[in-house]
Amino acid sequence: MYVFGDSTLDVGNNNYLPGTNVPRANRPYYGVDFPGGVPTGRFSNGYNTADFIAKCIGFVSSPPPYLSLVAPPASSGGLLVPTALTIGVSYASGGAGILDSTNAGSTIPLSKQVQYFNATRSKMIAAAAGSSDALINKSIFLLLFGGNDLFAFANAEQAQNRSGADLESDTAAFYGSLVSNYSAAIRSLYALGARRLAVVNVGLAGCLPVARLLDATGACAEDRNRLAAGFNAALRSLLADDLAASSSSGLPGLAYSLADSLGLMADTFADPRASGFVDVADACCGGGRLGAEATCAPNATLCADRGQYYFWDNVHPTERAAALRAHAFYDGPAQYTTPINFKQLVHMS
């Protein structure tokens, strides 16, 4: 299993990035419910979405972060190749975008994550010769991107008071650049042997606690939800009409499952108690209005029952919400994945 994504999937790569602007989850209360109660770099109170998808497949947790396998002293011990050949590697990075310009300098963007996989594969081939390509062909490539790009774009448009035709034009160009970059990355991964893609779309960006702060009553920012829905439609079209093996410009042998994070969140938020949630608006760990005006830090306010909250901090799901997401995408109700679910992708011949 090879993991590409943002902070929803990051299991510690950002802990190894230099700089003061790098988003990190290396302090309490992050990891408060993780085995040992320690922060690991996951933006969660415990395990995250990548971990639970890995658990569904049969692993103990997400594969480890790439930078932990190449940083000293690991680099001298040669951990990268045996890990890549047996479990996989995670390249996911908090703050990462489909565009290199998103949070530039403080994250590992999609293009760089693909470069890191290329470097990993070269070492795998050198060590295991031909068998590594067959392994890569059968491996799951989990991808989750777009939220950070949407957040940066919406903030920039808001700051410039863009509206009407100007906003429509900007948005169309924005979607075009996202789809172009995502397509190029997937085609690069395909050239490197990827054949099974588990792709997660963008959730309800306007219902994150940090987005609800924009409204005096704490309501969801519907313009951001529409922005997410528009991107998701473009992503679905990219996969089905451009990249799928069945399309004229498609990639022979490519199989994919597209998970609908937005649809699942919408259903969960419409009837939270059906999923066991009491609060789907506030951050469990934070401070101020909606718990979203302050970061999750050692001096933050911490909710009493973390299992009843959908959001851990002002952006990320709790461990329990992540588990529900993973199970829905792996073998849950059919409406949350297309054209097959993650389990079918894993077990296809």
Backbone angles phi, psi at 90, to 5 degrees: -105, 130
Task: Kindly list the distances between the CA atom of residue 21 and the CA atoms of 94, 95, 159, 298, 323, in Å, as whole numbers in the listed order.
Answer: 11, 10, 21, 19, 29
Given a contact cutoff of 8 angstroms between Cβ atoms, the answer to whether 114 and 92 are in contact is no
Catalytic residue among 90, 132, 261, 316: 316
Using CA atoms, how far apart are residues 261 and 203, in angstroms rounded to an integer?
Answer: 5
Using CA atoms, how far apart are residues 207 and 292, in angstroms rounded to an integer?
Answer: 12
Using CA atoms, how far apart are residues 158 and 108, in angstroms rounded to an integer?
Answer: 26
Number of H helices, E strands in the chain: 13, 10
Given a contact cutoff of 8 angstroms between Cβ atoms, the answer to whether 346 and 71 are in contact is no
Catalytic residue among 7, 62, 93, 257: 7
260 belongs to the catalytic site: no
147: helix, strand or coil = helix
246 belongs to the catalytic site: no
Beta-bridge partners for 80? none
CB atoms within 10 A of CB 259: 26
Catalytic residue among 6, 10, 260, 313: 313
- Which tokens is 208 given? 């994150």
* Range list of β-strands (E), the chain: 2-5, 89-90, 141-144, 196-200, 255-259, 279-283, 285-286, 301-302, 309-311, 337-338
- Which tokens is 281 given? 């608006």
331 belongs to the catalytic site: no
By annotation, the residues acting in catalysis are 7, 313, 316
